[in-house]
Amino acid sequence: MESKNAFVLEDKNPKAPVHLLIVPKEPIKNLLEASPALLGEMLNLAKLAAAKYGVDESGFRVVINTNEEGGQHIYHLHMHVLGGRKMKWPPG
């Protein structure tokens, strides 16, 4: 699944039964460098992917880690979509 500027893939090390990544096609370091238009496009892909993977009605979480203290380990912007189980709060 993809849009003009981003694509969806399954996480290779899932933290939930459904763990997807929404990744921009162009290299962007993190959320702070992303345009509002790209972020909207990525959120729309998250919504469509949640429906495709059957977690839209039961619920899902969208996460963007930003910089070291925010838990970012890969410095190419990406959005996590997690679902298929009850999420805990606080997350970490």
* Interatomic CA distance for residues 51 and 76, integer angstroms: 25
* Interatomic CA distance for residues 54 and 48, integer angstroms: 10
Give the pLDDT of residue 61.
97
pLDDT of residue 86 exceeding 90: yes
Contact at 8 Å (CB) between 79 and 19? no
* Interatomic CA distance for residues 8 and 22, integer angstroms: 5
CATH fold of 6-83 reads: HIT family, subunit A (3.30.428)
Give the pLDDT of residue 92.
58
Where in the chain are the domains? 6-83
pTM, 2 dp: 0.93
Give the pLDDT of residue 91.
77
Give the active site residues: 78
Closest CA to 78 of 9, 13, 16, 3: 9
pLDDT digits (tens, 9 = 90+) for 12-71: 999 999 999 999 999 999 999 999 999 999 999 999 999 999 999 999 999 999 999 999
